[in-house]
């Protein structure tokens, strides 16, 4: 029997864990104006291990004021791109040099397996390096009309960017917004997810050490409906980059509307992995196992619906289920662990609820509850349902855990209908060796991103984002630069001034 106390003895606790987290405003750590805090739980024991300052309107006001001041008076927006780039590279160096510690804290706070948390820490560094390089290589449009006009784009940072992030891979997703926002000369207020605030608290020290000027980065912890909402409604914040659930995205859209803010929305997903009979089945099985069980299944681009062509369906299901049963669930700190603990008991209850629903909607072929030996903590065995009908809730709704639905299809058009038959459209994975079908299917599928005969391997230059309920706007590469900057068009007369003349005719005007 494993109760919380027993679990706690079976795994190490990182040294020097803080007991409280504060906000970071204008270069200093501060308590909430009203002194309020919220509890942060450790996902292995579900016991409170940390209290974080619970920000509200007054705290967001202070952070926006600091960020605004750094934007209007500070050096950051006026520095050469090369100078800002140097700071970003130093940030990347520091993150890389601390990847092990970052991964340790992230894994403890979020329940992500340590090896995967380490990969995410390195990706965070890479995000800074990428945007450091991109801003120095940035070119803007110039158009000449010979002898008449020169037209050019004056690209400018916008101001205070509000960044609101979710709890899955928190540090990496924060870097995904922080790097382009500051690389382009904006100042920021970050509101990290309340389930996982620990790694976000490290940014302040990293940025200070790298030489980021005071007030450029500000952090307000807190509950979404309080701190997040105050940021969304703040008139001094002209743009919000949000990653999270589609329903939260809808709320933020509505609340930002009166202020006509720039919005970037990276939302939920229920992505299909489509396996045709001619595919390399070994590769497809490995990839689709990783695609839904990596990061505990708490992954926006998870291939959580697998559509398999009938001739290989039975073989696929049997082999898939057998491999899923071998996926190793364990303590997040253990390098051998492939699936760790889900982030929070509320999320665990949601995922377990879907597993119960799944029992009535499909044929359970692997998992179906807690793994053996983990009677407490947020541990879920990799769970596979076969023969799932498209109207099933486990086919339609984002579960965001280690649960997958497998559905057979007979024709390419049926596969496309199934793939597109949900409200989401984030990613799609297609497995086939037929070149024409591969491209035709990829182009027809309603997804912001498609991987062909590939796992989710990203090139940072490509657009990232979804269609339908999965998001609005794309970030990634220069699209992030576009989101965080204004492109002002400047038109210059070169030759004779082109003036249609009004009011010069003596006969007119009577």
CA dihedral for 156, 59, 124, 128, sign (positive or negative): positive
Determine the Cα angle at 302 with ends 301 and 306, to 5°. Answer: 125
Is residue 338 a contact point for ligand NAD (CB under 6 A)? no
DSSP codes joined into one string, 244-303:
S-HHHHHHHHHHHGGGT-EEEEE-----EEEE-TTS-HHHHHHHHHHHHHGGGG--TT--
For ligand NAD, the binding residue among 229, 309, 338, 446 (CB under 6 A) is: 229
Is residue 377 a contact point for ligand NAD (CB under 6 A)? no
Shortest gap between Cβ of 248 and ligand NAD (angstroms)?
Answer: 3
Is residue 107 a contact point for ligand NAD (CB under 6 A)? no
CA–CA separation, 418 vs 446, rounded Å? 11
Relative to beta strand 449-452, strand 427-431 is parallel
Site for ligand NAD in 131-170 (CB under 6 A): 164-168
Is residue 252 a contact point for ligand NAD (CB under 6 A)? yes
CA–CA separation, 216 vs 207, rounded Å? 9
Residues involved in catalysis: 266
Shortest gap between Cβ of 296 and ligand NAD (angstroms)?
Answer: 12
Is residue 483 a contact point for ligand NAD (CB under 6 A)? no
How far is residue 329 from each of residues 284, 300, 374, measured CA to CA in Å?
Answer: 22, 20, 9
How far is residue 306 from each of residues 105, 219, 437, 446, 465, measured CA to CA in Å?
Answer: 33, 39, 18, 15, 21
Shortest gap between Cβ of 194 and ligand NAD (angstroms)?
Answer: 5
Is residue 383 a contact point for ligand NAD (CB under 6 A)? no
Nearer to ligand NAD, 163 or 287 (CB): 163
Nearer to ligand NAD, 76 or 130 (CB): 130
Nearer to ligand NAD, 166 or 362 (CB): 166
Nearer to ligand NAD, 196 or 432 (CB): 196
Q: Which helix (H) or strand (E) holds 233?
A: none
Shortest gap between Cβ of 180 and ligand NAD (angstroms)?
Answer: 14
CA–CA separation, 153 vs 82, rounded Å? 19
For ligand NAD, the binding residue among 398, 402, 408, 450 (CB under 6 A) is: 398
Is residue 179 a contact point for ligand NAD (CB under 6 A)? no
For ligand NAD, the binding residue among 62, 210, 426, 469 (CB under 6 A) is: 426
Is residue 55 a contact point for ligand NAD (CB under 6 A)? no
Number of amino acids touching ligand NAD (CB under 6 A): 30
CA–CA separation, 165 vs 244, rounded Å? 7
Residues making contact with ligand NAD (CB under 6 A): 164-168, 173, 191, 193-194, 224-225, 228-229, 232, 243-245, 248, 251-252, 266-269, 300, 398, 400, 426, 466, 471
């Amino acid at each position: 029997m494993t109760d919380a106390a027993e679990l706690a003895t079976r795994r190490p606790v990182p040294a020097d864990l803080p007991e409280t987290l504060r906000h970071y405003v204008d270069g200093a750590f501060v308590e909430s104006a009203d002194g309020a805090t919220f509890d942060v739980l450790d996902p292995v024991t579900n016991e409170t291990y940390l209290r974080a300052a619970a920000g509200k309107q007054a705290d967001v006001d202070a952070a926006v004021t600091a960020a605004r001041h750094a934007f209007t008076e500070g050096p950051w927006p006026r520095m050469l791109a090369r100078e800002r780039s140097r700071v970003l590279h130093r940030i990347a160096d520091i993150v890389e040099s601390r990847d092990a510690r970052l991964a340790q804290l992230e894994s403890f706070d979020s329940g992500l397996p340590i090896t995967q948390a380490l990969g995410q820490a390195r990706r965070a560094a890479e995000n800074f390096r990428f945007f450091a390089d991109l801003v120095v290589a940035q070119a803007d449009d110039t158009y000449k009309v010979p002898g008449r006009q020169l037209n050019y784009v004056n690209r400018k940072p916008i101001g205070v960017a509000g960044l609101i992030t979710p709890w899955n891979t928190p540090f990496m997703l924060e870097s995904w917004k922080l790097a382009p926002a500051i690389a382009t000369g904006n100042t920021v207020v970050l509101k990290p997810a309340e389930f996982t605030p620990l790694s976000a608290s490290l940014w302040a020290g990293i940025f200070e050490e790298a030489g980021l000027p005071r007030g450029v980065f500000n952090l307000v912890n807190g509950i979404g409906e309080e701190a997040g909402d105050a940021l969304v409604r703040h008139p001094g914040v002209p743009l919000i980059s949000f990653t999270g659930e589609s329903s939260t995205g809808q709320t933020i859209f509505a609340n930002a509307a009166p202020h006509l803010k720039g919005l970037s929305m990276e939302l939920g997903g229920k992505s299909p992995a489509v396996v045709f009979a001619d595919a390399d089945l070994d590769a497809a099985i490995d990839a689709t196992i990783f695609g839904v069980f990596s990061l505990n299944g708490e992954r926006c681009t998870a291939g959580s619906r697998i559509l398999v062509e009938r001739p290989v369906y039975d073989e696929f299901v049997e082999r898939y289920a057998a491999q899923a049963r071998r996926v190793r669930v364990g303590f997040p700190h253990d390098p051998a662990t492939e699936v760790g603990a889900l982030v929070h008991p509320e999320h665990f209850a949601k995922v377990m609820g879907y597993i119960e629903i799944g029992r009535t909607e499909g044929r359970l072929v692997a998992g179906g509850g807690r793994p053996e030996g983990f009677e407490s903590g947020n541990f879920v065995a990799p769970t596979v349902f076969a023969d799932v009908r498209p109207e099933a809730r486990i086919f339609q709704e984002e579960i965001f855990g280690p649960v997958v639905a497998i559905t057979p299809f007979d024709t390419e058009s049926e596969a496309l209908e199934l793939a597109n038959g949900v409200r989401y459209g984030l990613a799609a994975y297609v497995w086939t060796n037929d070149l024409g079908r591969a491209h035709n299917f990829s182009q027809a599928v309603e997804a912001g991103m498609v991987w062909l005969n590939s796992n989710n391997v990203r090139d940072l230059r490509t657009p990232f984002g979804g269609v339908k309920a999965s998001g609005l706007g794309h970030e990634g590469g220069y699209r992030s630069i576009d989101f965080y900057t204004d492109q002002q068009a400047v038109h210059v007369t070169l030759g004779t001034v082109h003036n249609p003349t009004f009011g010069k005719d003596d006969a007119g005007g009577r």
